[in-house]
Amino acid sequence: MTAPVREKTTTIRQTRQRLHRHRTPIACGAALAALLAGSFAVIDRSTAEPKPDPRALGVREITVTATPIRTFDRTDSARYRFGKFTFLGGLRLSSPEKSFGGWSGIAIDPDGRNLIAVSDAGLWMTARLGHDDGRPATFENARTGPLKAMSGSPLGRERDRDAEAVELVAGTTKKGQLLIAFEQNHRIGRFDIGPGGVAPPTSYIRPDNSRGTMDGLKGFEAMTILTTGRYRGSIVAIAEHLHDSSGNHTGWFWTGAKANAFTLTDIGGYDIIGMAELPGGDLVLLERRFNWLEGIKMRLRRVALAELKPGAKIEGEVLLEATMAQDIDNMEGLSIHQDQAGSTILTLISDDNFNQLFQRTILLQFKLQAGEDEQAGVR
């Protein structure tokens, strides 16, 4: 999504004026950290490029430059272990195309080679991810196109185009089936993908409002599908910021047409913005928090499949926490696959909010440490 920022917008000029008036080390340090390390959309939209209109764009190849990210910790380049993970590496992605950016969801083929990403401007992107000694190295054959309505026309209204999550549910990103979750006009669509790109949706799931109505900009951002267990085949989605009376996050999983609600403990005021399934069936949640004093934070939390039941209250286990001391940006997309050795690999992508002056599109990969796989039921 485009916001922790839509809640509080501040222009660069206003920030500079405050810095000039209040030149204390703490005030300057906090504001400069937010500005210079990536303001994560708390800068007014006037600093960003306008979102591209997909109606003016067809399916086409684009040029993307990939610059390797070799270390995750900004202060300790020799450190590769973080929480339950080993950092494999990453890529900083850039393109002269104005349609490039805003990537909020990502899905990786089972072999880890090809991917699809969706943007909150209503575009999809496929590409081939190359590795060197197990580390991300290249980003090739990038192609983009507009997401479409059931009529076959590109999605027109901005509130209809706000794609925030994508999941590969069958086949591959060359020929398969996807689920795509949309915010603002909240829904989850089922789409085919083939040589011509992403086809119009074949069906939609609409939100269940029995637990309250989702805010337009804080709805479906985390979504996946269960491939094992009692509720195999169920779609799971969690609202970014829909709390019950006790402050817990609200989620649902669908059995047939029935939406079964559950809650997830809010730990530290993070929003839930991504989700993917581990090979053993447990879920990993991607969470984000922003404030002006500490900047952006990112967290990965595991939820045991056995805890997922109608009406359940789930806390889960924190696997990793990262701050601006690490090389993160506005991380929004999460996908999980296994490499040839059977290790579990997590891939994350950031949403730059089309604000290339202050934000970046980065792709990061982590390996779940041996032993953690077994605990999660991975074989």
Sign of the CA dihedral with 20 first, then 24, 29, and 31 last:
negative
Lookup: tokens for 117:
């990403």
Lowest mean pLDDT among 26-35, 40-49, 94-103: 26-35
pLDDT in tens, 115-142: 999 999 999 999 999 999 999 999 999 9
Looking at the domain that runs over 12-375, which CATH code has it been given?
A: 2.115.10
Q: State yes or no: pLDDT of 194 exceeds 60.
A: yes
pLDDT for 6: 40
pLDDT for 211: 73
Phi-psi region of 45 (alpha: psi -120 to 50; beta: other; left: phi over 0): alpha
pLDDT for 337: 97
CA angle at 130 for the pair 127 and 134, rounded to the nearest 5°: 140
Task: List the chain domain ranges.
Answer: 12-375
CA distance 122 to 159: 10
- Indicate the pTM of the whole model: 0.87
Q: State yes or no: pLDDT of 60 exceeds 90.
A: yes
